[in-house]
Amino acid sequence: MKTILHGNNHREVKLEHGNVHVFANDEVFASFGERVYQMADNNLRIPRNVYFSYTPDAHVGVGTCIGTTAVWNLSDGFVSPSIVGSDIGCGMRLHLTPLHRDDLKDKSLKRALIEAIEAYVPTNERGNTHFTDIRLEEVVKHGLQGLPSNYIPDTEAAPDTFSRSFSHVEKYTFEFDHSFLEQIPQKSWSRAWGQLGTLGGGNHFIEIQHIEIAEENREIAKAWGLFDGQVVIMIHSGSRAWGAMLGRDYTKSFKEVMYKWGIHNPEPSLVYAPIQSEEGQQYLNLMYSALNFAVTNRHMIGFSVEQAFRDIFGRETRTPVLYDLMHNYALKESHRNTPVLVHRKGATKALPAGHFQNPKAYRKTGHPALIPGSMGTSSYIMVGSEAGAKNFYSICHGAGRVRSRKATKELVTIDQFEQAMRVGQEDEIMVNHRSLASILDECPQAYKDVDQIIDSVVGANLASVVAKCNPLIAIKGV
Residues marked as catalytic: 397
Query: Annotated binding residue at 204?
Result: yes
9 is in an annotated binding site: no
Does the annotation place 18 within a ligand binding site?
no
CB–CB of 266/42 below 8 Å?
yes
| Secondary structure string (H, E, C) spanning 110-153 | HHHHHHHHHHHCCCCCCCCCCCCCCCHHHHHHHHHHHCCHHHCH
Which of 305, 302, 320, 319 is CA-nearest to residue 113? 305
Q: Exposure pattern of 342-378 as b/e (b: 16+ CB <10 Å)?
A: bbbbbbbbbbbbebeebbebbeebbbbbbbbbbbbbb
- 142 labelled ligand-binding: no
Q: Residue 328, annotated ligand binder?
A: yes
> Which is it for strands 273-274 and 78-79: parallel, antiparallel or unpaired?
antiparallel
39 is in an annotated binding site: no
- Asked whether residue 372 is marked as a ligand-binding residue, the answer is yes
3-class secondary structure, 74 = coil
Q: Is 243 exposed, middle or buried (0-12, 13-18, 19+ CB in 10 A)?
A: buried
Distance, CA of 316 to CA of 339 (rounded, Å): 46
Q: Is 229 annotated as a binding residue?
A: no
DSSP-derived letter for residue 195 is T
**346 known ligand binder:** no
Amino acid at 318: R
Q: Is 366 annotated as a binding residue?
A: no
How many whole angstroms separate alpha carbon 291 and alpha carbon 326?
A: 8
> Binding site annotation covers 205?
yes
Residues ≥6 apart with Cβ < 8 Å to 276: 76
Residue 399 marked as a ligand binder: yes
Is residue 8 a known part of a binding site?
no
Q: Taking Cα atoms as reference points, which of 469, 367, 456, 387 lies closest to residue 101?
A: 469
Q: Phi, psi at residue 20, to the nearest 5°?
A: -115, 125
Nearest-angstrom CA–CA distance, 11 and 98: 43
Q: Is 449 annotated as a binding residue?
A: no
Check whether 87 is labelled as a binding-site residue.
yes
Binding-site residues for GMP, in ranges, read 203-207, 327-328, 372-375, 379, 397-400, 476
Binding-site residues for Mn(2+), in ranges, read 87, 204, 236, 327
Binding-site residues, in ranges, read 87, 203-207, 236, 327-328, 372-375, 379, 397-400, 476
